[in-house]
Amino acid sequence: MKLNLLKLIPLFKKQTILVVGDTMIDKFVWGKVSRISPEAPVPVLEVTMETEVPGGAANVASNVTALGARVFIVTVIGEDIAGKSLISMFSKRKINSNYLILDSSRPTIVKTRIIAASQQILRVDKEVKGVFGRFIELKIIANIEELIPKVNAVIISDYGKGILSSKVLKKTISLAKNYRVPITVDPKIDHFKKYKRVTLITPNEKEAIDGMSARNVKTDEDAIVLGKKILRTLCSDSVLITRGEKGMVLFQSNNKVVNIPTRAKEVYDVTGAGDTVISAMTLALAAKADFISAAEIANFAAGIVVGKLGTATINLQELKKTITDFYTVNKLPHEKTN
């Protein structure tokens, strides 16, 4: 029997989650374009507003706290102005930053998106990629070892910037399994086959195809074959492939495949939608939800966040209202059975 989704949501407040991954600042420069530059054939943006929010694994952590849970984050940032700004953002969002590691050799990653009339016209990235040195790697592992016994679930948020080395991945997964806490992964293509024995991996369709070096994935049946192959290859408990307007497909180790149609009413911006999906689903799993119920909650959460511009989060009230409205409009019972 599936759990009542509305009964699960209040349990989010009782969870403590560890997020491990690459953090950054998502900066947005908003404005309007009314002319072309006389210096080059490019548009001139008249800036009206600039905003900054936590990005990458930091956005995952923001999603977790916005949904009412406590969160620890293990990551590395630069000893610079951007790093101080990110720490301030953590404080405002009640993200525990006691396990941040400072590295003077690299800048804090900043991704700047230039937006005109609600459309992104350019992105500028300031970053240094690559695996961190031995000293930093050992500090990352030590922090994870200290925190996993204190949490209800672990999220690996991999953006391929260097935090998640092979040793860090292997150790984190092993510790989570030893302490019997769910471990979920928002994957990076380059590391795809290293996420062995996790509870859940949440690639979008392109990540699933590229991560498995798949070819000729054109139909729904092809996607199902691919999902089952990922499940077998990684020996994971479940795989959730997000497919944009086609919704999601959940694969479980009992060979059950569940198609979940999208709940999005309007799509303005998919930036950070994957962060919302893994945050909501991990919280549901931490609250002892079955995989199908957890995926349904994540699907509703994604439907809300894509209706917002920029890197955004959702809160418990929005999630509860959206689920309630859906079942009311469709005259469906909240308690459902298979």
Give the per-residue pLDDT at 1: 34
Token pair of 166, please?
A: 């092979």
Strand order in the sheet with 100-103: 100-103, 70-78, 16-21, 153-157, 183-186, 200-201, 238-242, 248-252, 257-260
**Tally: H helices and E strands in the chain:** 10, 13
Backbone angles phi, psi at 58, to 5 degrees: -65, -30
Q: Read off the tokens for 87.
A: 């720490």
312-316 average pLDDT score: 82
Q: Higher pLDDT residue, 175 or 263?
A: 175
Over range 138-163, report the average pLDDT.
97
- Average confidence score pLDDT of the chain: 90
Average pLDDT over residues 309-323: 81
Tell me, what's the pLDDT at 114?
A: 95
At 86-112, the pLDDT tens digits run 999 999 999 999 999 999 999 999 999
pLDDT classification of 338: cutoffs 50, 70, 90: very low
Q: How confident is the model at residue 247 (pLDDT cuts 50, 70, 90)?
A: confident
Q: At CA 308, angle to CA 307 and CA 312, rounded to 5?
A: 130
Neighbour order of strands in the sheet with 23-36:
43-56, 23-36, 110-116, 119-126
- Which fold is adopted by the domain 5-34+43-328? UDP-N-acetylmuramoyl-L-alanine:D-glutamate ligase (3.40.1190)
Spatial distance between the Cα atoms of 168 and 160, rounded to a whole number of angstroms: 13
Spatial distance between the Cα atoms of 325 and 318, rounded to a whole number of angstroms: 10
294-to-40, 43, 183, 258, 297 alpha-carbon distances in Å: 51, 44, 14, 12, 5
Would you call 26 a catalytic residue per the annotation? no
Residue in 186, 210, 275, 290 annotated catalytic: 275
Of 259, 274, 258, 264, which Cα lies nearest the Cα of 311?
Answer: 274
Mean pLDDT for 318-323 is: 89
pLDDT digits (tens, 9 = 90+) for 42-63: 999 999 999 999 999 999 999 9
Mean pLDDT value across residues 32-38: 95
Query: Is 70 exceeded by the pLDDT of residue 196?
Result: yes
In the chain, where are the structural domains located? 5-34+43-328
Asked if the model's pLDDT at residue 331 lies above 80, the reply is no
**Average pLDDT of 322-333?**
75
What was the pLDDT predicted at 266?
A: 56
